[in-house]
Amino acid sequence: MSNHENPITHQPPPPRRIRVVATSPADLLALVPYLLGFHPHQSLVALGFTDDELVVATRGDLPTQDDPANAVDLLIGQMTRLVTNSRCTTVHLFGYGSPDLVEPVLRAAADGFADAGLEVIDLVRVTSDRYFSLRSPGPDEGVPFEVGSNILAAYAIAAGQVAFPDRDSLARTIEAVDGPEQQAMTRATIAAAERLNMLIATDGTAAAIRAGKHAVTEAFDRYAAGGRLDDNEMGWLTVQLINPEVREHAWLLTDDRSWHEQLWRDTTRRALLDLVAHAAALLAFTAWRRGDGVLANLAARRALDADPGNRLATLIDQVLAAGLSPATLIWPPDQPPADDTPDTSDLPDRAEPS
């Protein structure tokens, strides 16, 4: 696990809340991959409900013998904070893995959630195609279930939800482009850096900031219309995001609309390594606002791996760890987050691909 990676991934409240009528653990298990965005393995999953409405799904890696002695307590503490902050009243707990790893963690989690004032409805251990309830024991061989044939999975797919095979597969959707596309972006970014340096030298920093804000606004308009920036436009956008005033402009425009995620996902994939942190942090922000804590977590990690001091990514990482819902956000803010003075030394002379 990366030093920057938050072990909790979650699906907070709207806009991605799913209204379903689940009559069995099999129904809930069919939904889990679509709530998380991937099929969990070696995981503890909690589904939080308010009355009969599914409000939040949270997942963490099962601690192993190589983890610190307090790893289980830390995991459960983070998960209970997230569920209680989402104002849930009941919770279903699922453990994916072998009995020796899963069952002690499930029982400890049940105690932790009960201590936090939630009613624990069921504790279920899950294998690839069977589940075992610790509260209502069934057959020794478990109860068979199949995600693909469940009607609730079909509803999730129809609603646009996607379930990747595992977390790594989802992470690869925001990895850097490679091959000819990477080479084209390298050339475009170097040209954009030269253009920006010349603009600053001839017309001053204020003119460069105006051009940067215009580039951001044009990018939003392009993706709102279903379009995409070409390499030269993308290179220009990524070098402009070096300036804090331009980044603030981009941040204030970013909300939970799907094409905002598309814009910042595309920028994250195409930005060069020394410029990717700003785009990835904005992707983390819009993903969190959309209720996609999994993508927010992955994007924040991508930003912090590139720049451990990135303030927006650090903030999103802390928000995820605290289990704060996007419903708590007051937007637009009275005061944007502080940032540093622009440093054009960040501009690539010979840009390194990410």
Domain boundaries along the sequence of the chain: 8-165, 175-346
Residue 37 CA from chain centroid, whole number? 10
pLDDT score of 21: 65
Tokens of 66: 């190589």
How many percent of the chain have pLDDT more than 90? Answer: 59
Q: Lowest mean pLDDT: which of 87-101, 168-182, 263-277, 328-342?
A: 328-342
pLDDT confidence of 19, banded at 50, 70, 90?
A: low
Distances (CA, A) of 182 to 176, 223, 267, 306, 345: 8, 21, 12, 17, 22
Establish whether the linkage from the previous residue to 68 is cis, with ω within 30° of 0: no
Distances (CA, A) of 268 to 11, 97, 137, 147, 192: 22, 33, 47, 32, 17
pTM over 0.95: no
Q: Lowest mean pLDDT: which of 12-16, 229-233, 257-261, 274-278?
A: 12-16
Whether 208 shows a pLDDT value over 50: the answer reads yes
Q: Residues 6 or more apart from 301 whose CB is under 8 A from it?
A: 2, 4, 5, 6, 317
Whether 345 shows a pLDDT value over 80: the answer reads no
Is 331 strand, coil or helix?
coil
Amino acid at 73: D
Q: What is the mean pLDDT of the chain?
A: 86
pLDDT score of 334: 62
> How confident is the model over 41-58, as pLDDT tens digits?
999 999 999 888 888 888
- Comparison of pLDDT for 107 and 9, the residue scoring more: 107
pLDDT confidence of 1, banded at 50, 70, 90?
A: very low
pLDDT score of 339: 52
Whether 346 shows a pLDDT value over 60: the answer reads no
Distances (CA, A) of 141 to 15, 126, 130, 148: 39, 12, 8, 21
CA 175, 177, 178 angle in degrees (round to 5)?
120
Over residues 257-281, mean pLDDT: 96
Q: What are φ and ψ of residue 197, in 5° steps?
A: -60, -40
137: left (phi over 0), alpha (psi -120 to 50) or beta: beta
Over residues 224-239, mean pLDDT: 98
pLDDT confidence of 4, banded at 50, 70, 90?
A: very low
Q: How far apart are CA 170 and CA 293, in angstroms?
A: 12
DSSP string, 123-150: EEEE-SSEEEESSS---TT-EE--STT-
Q: Residues 6 or more apart from 164 whose CB is under 8 A from it?
A: 37, 38, 39, 170, 173
pLDDT confidence of 86, banded at 50, 70, 90?
A: confident
Establish whether the linkage from the previous residue to 308 is cis, with ω within 30° of 0: no
Of 3.30.2320, 3.40.140, 1.20.120, 2.60.40, which CATH number belongs to 8-165? 3.40.140
Tokens of 313: 């990514």
Q: How far apart are CA 176 and CA 179, in angstroms?
A: 10
pLDDT confidence of 245, banded at 50, 70, 90?
A: very high
Q: How far apart are CA 139 and CA 44, in angstroms?
A: 22
pLDDT confidence of 133, banded at 50, 70, 90?
A: very high
